[in-house]
A and B are shown apart, each in its own frame.
Chain A
């Protein structure tokens, strides 16, 4: 989230799209309802299915799964045609005025630079014109035919009401209603926000859906303000933290980039990863990248990381250039027999990964599997699953008992970036210990073997700083938390020239902010964005429980710690005009007094943009300092474009000759079948959760109260389709895709209504994804037998939300 949960109450229009917040984030929904109660906010729900969220919103607009970009692209078209944009904001705080290279073009669904063989773009033409100093050329009138604003206008001019309605199945009346209400927030004293969830990310175009909304928020001046932003309602208790610490192939803690093979030296890596800007008004905060990266290496290898050995850079594994190693790649390689061992910690991929049949077959190829969890699940037990003969499975499996959340101390980060401390309430049962302790002990044992026997590349294992146990040999969570925050590794004097102060820090003292990290090896920080979670005296800010709210906006600056540097709303300088005066005085998030900023922790101390000498642009993490309407970082183009899902009801994209996302990767095993616009699988299918179960159900299915409330798998079928198929409510049915099938109860409902798409009736059905064969015995198996192994072109987030099925009576 750019903002945070309580801030939802400050909004005037809340668009909930790709989320069923009332059922999946009920407490977040309380703040959404409060916006309605207190501000008279309008609540709009756009979703294929009518849910409890729809019931509490002002109205519900059904759209066909996988057509979100068309829907939102139509909104951009509406905003620009009707001049609803917040002009001052767009001109000053976005790259709307930048002139794009004359070699850039878009034609029939493809941008310039496409290589159809590699299914990849060269981004050489997705660049801005620069002046002699290297600063992007701007046309502040936004009239230059190649300025971003005009290109944006041209790109979305194709997204007419007729076209969008025909693609999405949404009536023109509904489109107009949503567009008009939402774009009315493009003024100084109104805030519009969006709440999204897996309904946006689970698509081959997921990242671009979110970017389309980001463009809308920039056009309407809704970024960086109270009640605004782009807000992901994320689905796991510490998914923000696990992402921040990057247990992900492509990044190291703090979103530092995982090195690739061609970056064979630290110097080359730093050169490639540190963005440059020639514009003196751009803070380009990532110019500090070397400090964050070297401090991370020091946190890993401590004294063993020296200037001479590149701080141990060569010990880090390197990915092949352009290669990816995501969950889907992992199971693809496992299916081919190339992966021999797997750790599966607090996870149940045998239920939750796409194309379950392939995943379960792949597991049989493992030599060993180590599971760590509080309950058994379908992954750890795969060797005795349906249709598997244990006598033919060679895998050695370890299932290690873990402490539950309330049985251990540590911090958890919510979607609003609040890092909250939790305490240990009781001992874990039996031999269970915290996952942190299991990790320490396994690596201790591996290190002992390397110390004794030697082996391949032992340096990174033996040189790792790994002393996170207390005197009793147990996991010392505070030691780790402090290592993540970071330390001074020698006595240091920090001079603040602006304030004219000098502060002394002793060797071993905690670093109070990431501003003080250094690239010379004199500081260590396990994750730079968490520097400041402790103060220099060692006080743990994550433990804070202060309830004061000086702005009255619900920022609660003394409750826990929010990264970065306790900033509660990021990009907050954009809530003020060029002179630092709040656009909306009623929700004064930040204000420049002439000397300093007052309110939330500002995005940097610099004066506002109007000060041409010292002032900075508001989007400090972007090299150019401005919001990116034109976003060259994306895999499939700088402007989002509608493409159909990998499996959909259409054989032709109504907008172009390019049916599906041109940059997605195909997996080509014998179990990776696809059936697009196939009469055998005529219905659009989507998946979701329910209030009582959580994700794969691997925790909640073991709880009698929750299971009683939601005991088994079902498929929701609209009344017209049920009538057509002769299916009665409560009857058992088989739902099948080209990859597999599941048997479940039919729930005949008014919640799904057919769509009119390209002049034809298209039915959609949906199933929850919370069930597996292990428990309960008659609850049904994984919905992911139906889903394809395909993901977003940027993130490889699987396309669970739009694929094609058939439904038959059993």
Chain B
């Protein structure tokens, strides 16, 4: 996306507020912030811009992620002014969207495993975890599988495994989960839509 009206408006806004603040005089903070804004503005203008949708409530506000072309990292996220619903504005959570990226030190980066009776997490790799999970799923399913219910009706279900989530993943992921659960015969299937 080319920088057009949005870039112009933001830039003029930054200039205006910067001038207003620095004109107050004594504090150097505003001047620094002004310089940082100018710097960020230049980076935004040079960035690859990618549209996304907010991940909190269900209004579906549009956002633009600015991605540094050299590092491939997101360095700024703001409301999408072209979006008909939010018209560029965001609430406090949406405005803090950037803090969900890898810039947040608490993000999970490794597969973690907690062994029975253990008091700590240990790091594992995907292959190990997938193999172990598949083994547990299969053993639990096979052991608890109900082919016929008390009335003798064919039910082909697994009552010993539950699945919760999620309304904060994408549609395609939801559909995969919905179908995967049914193929395994799960019936205890639920998520946030009910709570």
B94 nearest in chain A by CB position: A27
Chain A residues within an 8 Å CB radius of B141: 455-456
How far is B166's CA from A439's CA once the two chains are assembled, in angstroms? Answer: 12
As a 0/1 sequence over residues 391 to 435 of chain A, the CB contacts with chain B under 8 angstroms (1 = contact) are 111111111111011111011111110111011111111111111
How far is B187's CA from A410's CA once the two chains are assembled, in angstroms? Answer: 27
Q: Which of A71-79, A214-222, A326-334, A578-586 contacts B (4 or more CB under 8 A)?
A: A326-334
Q: Which of B6-14, B17-25, B30-38, B178-186 contacts A (4 or more CB under 8 A)?
A: B178-186
B150 nearest in chain A by CB position: A320
As a 0/1 sequence over residues 433 to 460 of chain A, the CB contacts with chain B under 8 angstroms (1 = contact) are 1111001111111101110010111001
Chain B residues within an 8 Å CB radius of A702: 104, 106
- From 97 to 124 in chain B, residues with beta carbon under 8 angstroms from any chain A beta carbon are 97, 99-102, 104, 106-119, 121
Contact of A415 among B58, B101, B136 (CB under 8 A): B58
Contact of A484 among B126, B130, B172 (CB under 8 A): B172
A55, CB-defined interface residue at 8 Å: no
A688, CB-defined interface residue at 8 Å: no
B42, CB-defined interface residue at 8 Å: no
Chain B residues within an 8 Å CB radius of A445: 130-131, 133-134
A526, CB-defined interface residue at 8 Å: yes
Chain B residues within an 8 Å CB radius of A400: 111, 129
- Cβ–Cβ contact B176 & A436, under 8 A: yes
- Cβ–Cβ contact A25 & B59, under 8 A: yes
Q: Take A326-B190, A394-B117 as given contacts and tell me if A246 and B178 are in contact as well, using a CB distance cutoff of 8 Å.
A: yes
As a 0/1 sequence over residues 127 to 161 of chain B, the CB contacts with chain A under 8 angstroms (1 = contact) are 00111111111101111110101010111111111
16 contacts between A and B (CB under 8 A): A6-B85, A30-B89, A239-B193, A247-B177, A247-B181, A300-B183, A315-B156, A340-B161, A346-B167, A368-B133, A390-B119, A407-B101, A416-B60, A441-B130, A691-B92, A699-B55
- Cβ–Cβ contact B164 & A349, under 8 A: yes
Chain B: residues with Cβ within 8 Å of the partner, total of: 116
Chain A residues within an 8 Å CB radius of B63: 406
Q: Take A398-B112, A426-B72, A703-B100 as given contacts and tell me if A252 and B182 are in contact as well, using a CB distance cutoff of 8 Å.
A: yes
Chain A residues within an 8 Å CB radius of B110: 401, 430-431
Nearest Cβ in chain A — how far from B91, in angstroms? 4
A723, CB-defined interface residue at 8 Å: no
Contact of A406 among B100, B156, B177 (CB under 8 A): B100
Contact of A318 among B61, B77, B117, B155 (CB under 8 A): B155
- Cβ–Cβ contact B160 & A460, under 8 A: no
- Cβ–Cβ contact B154 & A314, under 8 A: yes
Chain A residues within an 8 Å CB radius of B183: 300, 315, 443, 460-461, 464
Chain B residues within an 8 Å CB radius of A431: 109-111, 125-126
Q: Take A264-B154, A457-B147, A703-B99 as given contacts and tell me if A237 and B195 are in contact as well, using a CB distance cutoff of 8 Å.
A: no
- From 604 to 625 in chain A, residues with beta carbon under 8 angstroms from any chain B beta carbon are none
- Cβ–Cβ contact B135 & A320, under 8 A: no
Contact of A414 among B51, B59, B94, B136 (CB under 8 A): B59
- From 290 to 315 in chain A, residues with beta carbon under 8 angstroms from any chain B beta carbon are 299-300, 314-315
B141 nearest in chain A by CB position: A456
How far is B149's CA from A398's CA once the two chains are assembled, in angstroms? Answer: 32
B50, CB-defined interface residue at 8 Å: yes
How far is B176's CA from A456's CA once the two chains are assembled, in angstroms? Answer: 22
- Cβ–Cβ contact B114 & A347, under 8 A: no
Nearest Cβ in chain A — how far from B141, in angstroms? 7
Q: Take A341-B160, A390-B118, A434-B173 as given contacts and tell me if A248 and B185 are in contact as well, using a CB distance cutoff of 8 Å.
A: no
In the A-B complex, the 3 residue pairs with the smallest Cβ-Cβ separation, listed nearest first, are A430-B109, A414-B60, A410-B170
A93, CB-defined interface residue at 8 Å: no
- Cβ–Cβ contact B50 & A423, under 8 A: yes
- Cβ–Cβ contact A341 & B161, under 8 A: yes
A345, CB-defined interface residue at 8 Å: yes
How far is B52's CA from A426's CA once the two chains are assembled, in angstroms? Answer: 11
Q: Take A397-B113, A430-B109 as given contacts and tell me if A27 and B89 are in contact as well, using a CB distance cutoff of 8 Å.
A: yes
- Cβ–Cβ contact A408 & B170, under 8 A: yes
- Cβ–Cβ contact B60 & A695, under 8 A: no
A506, CB-defined interface residue at 8 Å: no
How far is B163's CA from A338's CA once the two chains are assembled, in angstroms? Answer: 14
- Cβ–Cβ contact B142 & A442, under 8 A: no
Contact of A24 among B54, B57, B73, B162 (CB under 8 A): B57
B74, CB-defined interface residue at 8 Å: yes
How far is B175's CA from A413's CA once the two chains are assembled, in angstroms? Answer: 13
Q: Take A237-B56, A249-B188, A457-B147 as given contacts and tell me if A439 and B154 are in contact as well, using a CB distance cutoff of 8 Å.
A: no
How far is B190's CA from A329's CA once the two chains are assembled, in angstroms? Answer: 10
Q: Take A5-B85, A410-B170 as given contacts and tell me if A456 and B72 are in contact as well, using a CB distance cutoff of 8 Å.
A: no
B39, CB-defined interface residue at 8 Å: no
Q: Take A339-B162, A395-B116 as given contacts and tell me if A439 and B177 are in contact as well, using a CB distance cutoff of 8 Å.
A: yes
Chain A residues within an 8 Å CB radius of B92: 26, 691-692, 706, 709
B90 nearest in chain A by CB position: A27
Q: Which of A157-165, A643-651, A795-803 contacts B (4 or more CB under 8 A)?
A: A795-803
- Cβ–Cβ contact A439 & B180, under 8 A: yes
Q: Take A319-B187, A327-B164 as given contacts and tell me if A420 and B176 are in contact as well, using a CB distance cutoff of 8 Å.
A: no
How far is B54's CA from A412's CA once the two chains are assembled, in angstroms? Answer: 9
Q: Which of A114-122, A147-155, A371-379, A738-746 contacts B (4 or more CB under 8 A)?
A: A371-379
Q: Take A393-B117, A406-B101 as given contacts and tell me if A413 and B89 are in contact as well, using a CB distance cutoff of 8 Å.
A: no
A392 nearest in chain B by CB position: B117
As a 0/1 sequence over residues 238 to 250 of chain A, the CB contacts with chain B under 8 angstroms (1 = contact) are 1111111111110
- Cβ–Cβ contact B112 & A399, under 8 A: yes
B29, CB-defined interface residue at 8 Å: no
Most buried by B among A247, A373, A449: A247
Chain A residues within an 8 Å CB radius of B114: 383, 395-397, 399
